[in-house]
Structure 1
Amino acid sequence: MIPTPNLDHISSKDYENVYEPAEDTFLLLDALEKDAELLRNEIAPCISLEIGSGTGCVSTFLGKILGDGKAPNGLLPRLYHSVDIICCNPPYVVTTSEELYSSKSVIERAWAGGIDGREVIDKMLPLVDELLSDKGVFYLLLISENKPNEIRETMKNDYNLQSKVVLSRLAGREKQSILRFWRDIRQ
């Protein structure tokens, strides 16, 4: 078992501007740990990217899985079809479009997802196709209101990305799921 990264250096004041790790973050950590052998041995990543990093807890945890020298790198234009692991815990809470764009606090923008909780997600999905390497995997955290099956179909039909639900869990009234996407390069 890989220990959760220590976040003691983050103060309560920091959490006014950074999304505090909660059930969704820990579900993503559990999914990565479940796939640790796949990530180490089959993917053997050179570049990983976390979108919606908040405290950086997921990137730190992924670095522990992969070991020294495999820490996640930043996004650069030169990463076209080069990113081996993409992790994303997007703003997914169902809100109005107005709330998404007019949120006064930074922390509200960390979770406000707009209509169906999908406005940010839908803008990001085409970028995944541009960034993901041939051997790469993309982990996406969703709730049932985000219509995960619709996203899976879109990714398959528009980008030829296969998918699997790695883990699902109830967190309060939210049904959270981690989906893993990958290219079907056997065609």
Structure 2
Amino acid sequence: MAAQASAEDAKLDGWVPSLDHATFVDWNRVYEPSEDTFLLLDALFADRAALRASRAIVEIGPGSGVVATYLAKLTRNSVLAVDINEAACALTMRTAEANGARVDVMRGDLCGALRSYSVDALVFNPPYVPTDDEEVGGAGIEASWAGGRNGRRVLDRLLPHVARVLAPAGRFYVVCVAENDPASIVSYLRARGLTGETVLRRRARNEALSVLRFVRAAPS
């Protein structure tokens, strides 16, 4: 059984769900997977043992559906994907279907519709590129990457709710760049009972990318 599990894991190490069904029209409206996406997939693979113990898994802002689909295949569980972009919701459903993954899609804004203490694993690759605030949340493709001042406008809307939606042993994974000031993200969530650390780093062109993981601090 161990050998079988190891062989299954080997197939998922570095695997990216197929997007052969996506079109140029999709990429005009939805973020196309890039280095930040692949870094997140690698971080989730490295944490697969803990993730497989998670029952309620949610990705905020799935975009193409690659990460949600990967999570569903990695954990052999269903995943809930929440996106405010109707085109992203539609493409996420198609990606899951094309790769035989169990992904439920809900159109919504961040985690406003999630019940308190209900999520075992929360995943977010936010729009993190520092831009003018006017570009944040627009109708064009720039909304998928424009993060406003310090690249934090969208993420800072989510952070106050993370501790509320996470289950007692829940985990939160978030992608960020150096300009987002990862240390201040760790400090902010530490004050709300979550312990954070960088689990993976990578430089992609001019971006110093990292994936942070947060867990609820053990009671003292």
Q: Same fold (TM over 0.5)?
A: yes
Query: Deviation of residue 170 (structure 1)?
Result: 0.3
Provide the residue aligned with 1:122 in structure 2. 156
Structure 1 residues 93, 155: CA separation in 2 closer, same or farther (over 3 Å shift)?
A: same
Residue correspondence of structure 1 range 43-82 to structure 2 within 5 A: 44-67=53-76, 70-73=77-80, 74=106, 77=113, 79-82=115-118
2:131 to 95, 120, 130: 95
Task: Return the letter of the residue paired with 2:119.
Answer: V
Deviation string 1:35-82 (CA, Å, 9 cap, x unpaired) is 112222xxx111111112101110100111111xx1112567462111
Partners in 2 of 1:163 and 1:78 — Cα distance? 22
Say whether 1:27 aligns with 2:39: yes
Query: Deviation of residue 99 (structure 1)?
Result: 2.3
Higher relative contact order (CA 8 A, sep 6+): 1
Partners in 2 of 1:16 and 1:82 — Cα distance? 34
Which ranges in structure 2 are unaligned for 5 or more consecutive residues? 1-9, 81-105
Deviation string 1:138-161 (CA, Å, 9 cap, x unpaired) is 00000000000011011101x110
Matched residue SS, 2:19: coil
Provide the residue aligned with 1:180 in structure 2. 213
Task: Return the letter of the residue paired with 2:79.
Answer: P
Whether the 8 Å CA contact 2:36–2:209 is kept in 1: the answer is: yes
* TM-score (norm. length: structure 1): 0.91
Partners in 1 of 2:190 and 2:159 — Cα distance? 11
Count of matched residue pairs: 179
Provide the residue aligned with 1:38 in structure 2. 50
Deviation string 1:114-138 (CA, Å, 9 cap, x unpaired) is 0000011111001211111111100
The runs of at least 4 consecutive aligned structure 1 residues that moved more than 3 Å come to 74-78
Say whether 1:164 aligns with 2:197: yes
Matched residue SS, 1:180: strand
Say whether 1:143 aligns with 2:177: yes
Whether the 8 Å CA contact 2:59–2:68 is kept in 1: the answer is: yes
Whether the 8 Å CA contact 2:114–2:165 is kept in 1: the answer is: no
Structure 1 residues 108, 31: CA separation in 2 closer, same or farther (over 3 Å shift)?
A: same
